[in-house]
Amino acid sequence: MSDLTDLYQEVILDHNRRPRNFRVLERATHHAEGYNPLCGDRLALFLEVDGDVIADVGFQGSGCAISKASASLMTDCVKGAPIADARVLFERFHRMVTTPPDQAVEDLGKLSVLAGVREFPVRVKCASLAWHTLKAALDRHEKTTTE
């Protein structure tokens, strides 16, 4: 196993302590709930979609540091983004966290702090939960799980 500091980087601990966009959107147009039955993590995601753009995004829920930080970072990245771009980012993020640790991955800017999760296979689902929930919200599936 690589050093724990690869997983629990300062950025992740910060987003865990002070999650961004941690709120319910009163005027949400899209909503989905994510659930990870392995650890009981729950996440509710709210989107306010204006035309083809995610004008605002918020989330609520309880979870481990990885899932909370991942959700927080995700909301930062997709807020104001065209839906099509968010979908592409989902694919790129998914590829990053599922690529074997001995292979190089694309630089995803601040999302790259989560690349360390590849060293901890049981934690990949924690990092992915928010993104799967985003996809479900955009696809208008009300509930999703990481199973």
Site residues, other proteins (CB under 8 A): 1, 4, 7-8, 13, 38-42, 62-66, 68, 120, 122-123, 126
Tokens 């002070």 map to which residue? 18
Nearest distance, CB of residue 146 and other proteins, angstroms: 13
DSSP run (H or E) holding 76: helix 65-78
- Of 66 and 134, CB closest to other proteins: 66
Nearest distance, CB of residue 144 and other proteins, angstroms: 17
Q: What is the dihedral of CA 4, 23, 140, 66, to 10 degrees?
A: 0
- Of 54 and 146, CB closest to other proteins: 146
The pair of three-digit structure tokens given for residue 45, joined into one six-digit string:
């995601």
- Of 14 and 85, CB closest to other proteins: 14
